[in-house]
Amino acid sequence: MRRTAAGFLAIAFATAGLAHAALAGSDGETPAKAPSHVEKTFLLPSSDGYGVGECLTTPGSSCGQVVANAWCEAQGYAAANSYGVAAADEYTGAISQPTPAPTERPIRITCQD
């Protein structure tokens, strides 16, 4: 089957138009904006071996926000939104066991972009 140059040009312009529409906003001129607020929550073992569990689990500690921010920056996020002991419904309960003591529960750090 033989295609003409005009057929190839028509396909190329149609593809370029779709790509432009995907990158442009609703008016077709301004670029579409990425989501402005991205959050991700990480669960860390309370006994991670670094000794920062006490900072992250003590409300109002002076080192808690610093440690949480450092963790988020290491993961590629701007800063920590919140941190503390994870609630029982924030981690899996697939194996039925007694609820662990708060010192044994994972630590939750929520990072934001």
pLDDT, tens digit, 9 for 90 and up, residues 60-91: 788 999 999 999 999 999 999 999 988 877 77
Structure tokens at 75: 């993961």
Domain containing 63 equals 39-112
- On whether both 68 and 83 belong to a single domain, the answer is yes
Neighbour-count burial of 81, counting CB atoms closer than 10 A to its CB (0-12 exposed, 13-18 middle, 19+ buried): middle
- On whether both 52 and 22 belong to a single domain, the answer is no
- On whether both 49 and 24 belong to a single domain, the answer is no
- On whether both 29 and 69 belong to a single domain, the answer is no
- On whether both 43 and 98 belong to a single domain, the answer is yes
Provide the domain count of the chain: 2
Q: Which residues make Cβ contacts (< 8 Å) with residue 22, sequence separation at least 6?
A: 32
pLDDT, tens digit, 9 for 90 and up, residues 14-61: 555 544 444 555 666 766 666 567 899 998 888 777 778 888 988 878
- On whether both 45 and 27 belong to a single domain, the answer is no
Q: What are phi and psi of 65, to 5 degrees?
A: -65, -35
What pTM value is reported for the model?
0.59
pLDDT at site 28: 63
Which range of 10-14, 59-63, 102-106 scores highest in mean pLDDT? It is 59-63
- On whether both 65 and 93 belong to a single domain, the answer is yes
- On whether both 77 and 100 belong to a single domain, the answer is yes
